[in-house]
Amino acid sequence: MPTLKKQTVENNISKWLTLLLAAACGIIVANLYYAQPLVGVISSSIGLSANSSGLIVTLTQIGYVVGLLFIVPLGDIVDNRRLVVTSLLLTGVALAITAMSKQAAPFLAASFVIGIGSVAAQVLVPFASYLASDSSRGRVVGNVMSGLLLGIMLSRPLSSLVADFLGWHAVFALSAAAIIILAIVLSKVLPARKPMTDTRYTALLGSMWHLLRTTPILRRRAAYHAFVFATFSLFWTTVPLLLSGPVFHFSQINIALFALVGVAGAIAAPIAGRLADRGWTKPATWIALATVAGSMLLPLVIRTGSITGIVILVVSAILLDAGVSANLVLGQRALFSLSPEIRSRLNGLFMAIFFFGGAIGSAIGGWTYATGGWSAVLWIGMAFPIAALLYFATEKK
């Protein structure tokens, strides 16, 4: 067992630092999603065939999973501030390369690196939990995660709007500037946090399989969220196809505005954190999972191509984002209640597992919509949280 020495950071975090960490997580994680609504225009610009255009998003996702498994665990053994700043500088350079790319090879290589570097957000989340006291950990994690979730939800409409006015290169150029500025700010204001342990990197990676086998709450919370995140990815991959189709005839700007409305669901994150701090994790989880299932049921029950149909879709989007946001915070709050020395590894495993669920949702979304239509999408989207509810019902006290 590694020998642990006294940590140098007190369990106290100010409101302004919590706000900064929330904003930082949102700015960082948005890089994973900027390209999604721009796949068509980017692929034609860099000479990528239609059959290979999916690589634009897929390589970024693969890079992110690689970073979750091999970079995030370093937060348990190296200075967190240095790890975050280094990752951000790497991301900034990669974003600059994508902004200047006119060919597929450098763009795709840089996209992979963007995914790896963007895991800095998942170093900051357990860092915030470490700085918080036991009684306020859920609130702090909820506030930080609300910033991260806002970054996810705002990234797609923001990239669509910027690309519409300035071109897709500007999306990555502006993000590169923002990331570099963020790296400088965090290097100045983040407190140092160097875990004092003699664990080697190879032993650290080897311990992750052991943690997965011996930590039931990790397996359960990762499974719950993998199911609901699959629904989240499924919905947001296919709803633009529905809105731009012959029923609603939405423009790209209208679709961007629709996505902005769904951002209201992020308010559930800090609420869930406060409920967890009061010991209400189990009932809150029931509500979160049921909300995701209900968000898919609503447009199945009330179907219309009029303004009523649009209102129903808006309500469904808000409920979906709220349920997913709440469940994510509840899961991380449960994991961050465990030993501080393993939080980065737990967070890396948790994120990698549920991100895989999201990749499944994205992968089957387009195919399901093309072969079975919107109804098939909703039925599959409802099946995922129902499976999570059934599994959750088996959880012991």
Quote the pLDDT of residue 117.
Answer: 96
Name the percent of the chain lying above pLDDT 70: 95
d(C-alpha 145, C-alpha 327), whole Å:
11
Q: What fold does the segment set 15-392 form as a domain?
A: Growth Hormone; Chain: A; (1.20.1250)
d(C-alpha 60, C-alpha 31), whole Å:
9
Q: What is the average pLDDT score of the chain?
A: 86
Domain-wise residue ranges, the chain:
15-392
* Region of poorest pLDDT, from 2-6, 43-47, 57-61, 212-216: 2-6
Q: For residue range 62-113, list pLDDT tens digits in order.
A: 899 899 889 988 888 888 899 999 999 999 999 999 999 999 999 999 999 9
Residue 50's pLDDT band (cuts 50, 70, 90): low
What mean pLDDT comes out for the span 246-263? 81
CB atoms under 10 Å from CB of 343, counted, come to 22
Q: What share of residues in the chain are helix, strand, coil (percent, to 5)?
A: 80, 0, 20
CB 231 within 8 A of CB 391: no
Instruction: Compare 51 and 265 and report the one with higher pLDDT.
Output: 265
Cα torsion angle, 223, 209, 338, 353, sign: negative
Residue 54's pLDDT band (cuts 50, 70, 90): low
pLDDT at 237 exceeding the cut of 80: no
CB 147 within 8 A of CB 25: yes
